[in-house]
């Protein structure tokens, strides 16, 4: 009988900030040389290119490249003056069960290519804003976000990196989830991804597990089912909000996905069946 995989090790459950997180814009002649003091430095490239050396090992710098620098690391970095670096930096001490700890060797990666680099950047900017608020709750929230960003970096290190195409496909998938009723076509999505329709459909299917046309329909029907269950909108209005000009076509697609008609779905949601 196969055994379950061991759980991921819990390295720490909070962080204690050593100063507010910051975003830096490098000056034309910027160079960095430092020995990391008695804290961890989460250092992430938000934009720009260059090179970093950590304890003699060289790494290219590009958007989405993250470094979790442990105390005592010797760091040197420089950017390409034609493409200056913008970076996020958070100095923290890991905490577990209320006590300061160190990250065990082998569990603290030096160099990581982040997944969802755009989401990371949004959260990083918000962490910086909260860290500058001076509000005690805001500072606690900033620490919680830095903890989440550190975990995101550690998780990215354990998973295979996305290539630029997969990253773009996932961004489009998220846009569809957020606004399923927006009128979209597979051809339009392919143009937004900068690919031919055939190549886009193949890569989308590989990432999502289904063709883009079916993914669009499922997200529309899922949202429509929620609106039918939770609102008093007429079915024709729900269909229109989900991008359907023909309520009968909407009903057919709804039944194909859910197995029941929109009307029957509504009656069941209200306890009628």
**Does residue 7 have a pLDDT over 60?**
no
CA distances from 98 to 39, 93, 205 (A): 16, 11, 45
Tell me: do 187 and 147 sit in the same domain: no
> pLDDT tens-digit profile of 90-120?
999 999 998 998 876 656 668 888 888 888 9
Tell me: do 69 and 93 sit in the same domain: yes
The domain tally of the chain equals: 2
Lowest mean pLDDT among 72-76, 102-106, 140-144, 189-193: 102-106
DSSP state of 259: S
Tell me: do 70 and 95 sit in the same domain: yes
d(CA 152, CA 154): 5
| Beta strand pairing call for 22-25 and 86-96 | antiparallel
Residue 9 belongs to some domain of the structure:
no
d(CA 167, CA 121): 14
> Is 224:250 a contact under the CB 8 Å cutoff?
yes
Determine the structural domain holding residue 195 and report its residue range. 164-269
Mean predicted confidence (pLDDT) in 222-249: 93
Query: Pick from 134, 158, 182: which residue ends a domain?
Result: 158
d(CA 120, CA 201): 27
Mean pLDDT of the chain: 89
Residue 231 belongs to some domain of the structure:
yes
Q: Which residues contact 87 (CB under 8 A, 6 or more apart)?
A: 23, 24, 26, 43, 44, 45, 46, 48
Tell me: do 213 and 183 sit in the same domain: yes
Tell me: do 103 and 41 sit in the same domain: yes
Tell me: do 132 and 18 sit in the same domain: yes
Q: Which residues contact 244 (CB under 8 A, 6 or more apart)?
A: 220, 250, 253
**Does residue 203 have a pLDDT over 70?**
yes
DSSP state of 210: S
**Does residue 209 have a pLDDT over 50?**
yes
**Does residue 262 have a pLDDT over 90?**
yes
> Is 84:58 a contact under the CB 8 Å cutoff?
no
d(CA 170, CA 75): 33
Residue 4 belongs to some domain of the structure:
no
Residue 57 belongs to some domain of the structure:
yes
d(CA 194, CA 165): 9
Helix (H, G, I), strand (E, B) or coil at 131: helix
Tell me: do 213 and 133 sit in the same domain: no
Lowest mean pLDDT among 97-101, 108-112, 145-149, 153-157: 108-112
pTM, two decimals, is 0.69
134 burial (CB, 10 Å; 0-12 / 13-18 / 19+) is exposed
Residue 8 belongs to some domain of the structure:
no
pLDDT > 70: percent of the chain: 93
Residue 222 belongs to a domain with what CATH number?
1.10.10.60
């Amino acid at each position: 009988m196969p055994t379950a995989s061991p759980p991921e090790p819990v390295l720490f459950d909070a962080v204690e900030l050593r100063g507010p997180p910051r975003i830096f814009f490098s000056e034309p002649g910027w160079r960095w040389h430092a020995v990391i003091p008695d804290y961890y430095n989460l250092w992430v490239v938000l934009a720009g290119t260059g090179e970093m050396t950590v304890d003699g090992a060289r790494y290219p710098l590009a958007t989405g490249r993250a470094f979790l620098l442990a105390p005592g690391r010797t760091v040197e970095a420089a950017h390409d003056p034609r493409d200056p670096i913008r970076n996020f930096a958070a100095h923290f001490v890991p905490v577990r069960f209320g006590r300061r700890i160190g990250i065990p060797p082998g569990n603290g990666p030096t160099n990581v290519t982040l997944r969802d680099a755009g989401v990371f950047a949004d959260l990083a900017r918000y962490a910086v804003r909260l860290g500058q608020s001076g509000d005690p709750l805001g500072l606690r929230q900033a620490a919680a976000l830095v903890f989440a960003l550190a975990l995101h970096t550690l998780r990215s290190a354990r998973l295979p990196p996305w290539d630029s195409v997969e990253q773009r496909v996932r961004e489009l998938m998220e846009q569809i989830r957020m606004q399923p009723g927006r009128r979209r076509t597979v051809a339009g999505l392919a143009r937004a991804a900068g690919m031919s329709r055939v190549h886009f459909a193949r890569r989308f299917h590989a990432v999502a597990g289904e063709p883009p046309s079916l993914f669009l329909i499922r997200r529309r029907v899922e949202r429509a089912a929620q609106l039918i269950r939770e609102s008093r909108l007429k079915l024709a209005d729900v269909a229109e909000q989900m991008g359907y000009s023909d309520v009968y076509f909407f009903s057919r697609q709804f039944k194909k996905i859910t197995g029941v008609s929109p009307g029957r779905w509504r009656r069941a949601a209200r306890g009628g069946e």
